[in-house]
Amino acid sequence: MNKKIFIKGHTCNVSRTAEIIGDSWTSLILRDLFLEGPRKFQDFTNSLIGISPNLLSNRIKKLIEYDIIQSRQYSDHPPRNEYFLTDRGKDLGPIIAGMRDWGRKHTKS
């Protein structure tokens, strides 16, 4: 089993989870990984209209730090990575699906 993530200052389970995946860009990165499987950085920039490369890189690093996603290099020259869900990340599936279902029921575009 993976070591539990310590989130300083958060004593509530919901608060700790929201601290990790609660911002919209992080949720959309996870959505893409669940819907499409392993993704490259460029795949995310094409899908997540409006996200800056720096912000995307920051969110990816955070997800890697928390062992929610991992990267593997697919090109040496230039170095390029693709990203995929870890087992810990896959455990977020019901949360992302719940957000999708709630959105279907209560929102419109």
Global pTM reads 0.92
52, two tokens: 């800056």
Contact 44, 56 (CB under 8 A): yes
* Average pLDDT over every residue of 47-57: 97
Contact 40, 32 (CB under 8 A): no
* Average pLDDT over every residue of 17-23: 94
Round to whole Å and give the CA distance between 78 and 14.
40
| Domain extents in the chain | 13-106
- Per-residue confidence (pLDDT) for residue 1, from 0 to 100: 56
Pick the CATH number of 13-106 from 1.10.10.10, 3.40.50.300, 1.20.1530.20, 3.40.50.720: 1.10.10.10
Q: What spatial distance separates the first Cα and last Cα of the chain, rounded to whole Å? A: 40
Residue in the block written with tokens 């993976």: 2
Residue 46: φ, ψ to 5°? -70, -35
CA contacts within 13 A on the Cβ side of 18: 7
Q: Model confidence over 57-99: pLDDT tens digits?
A: 999 999 999 999 999 999 888 989 999 999 999 999 999 999 9
Which ranges of the chain does DSSP label H, i.e. alpha helix? 13-21, 24-36, 41-47, 53-65, 87-90, 93-106
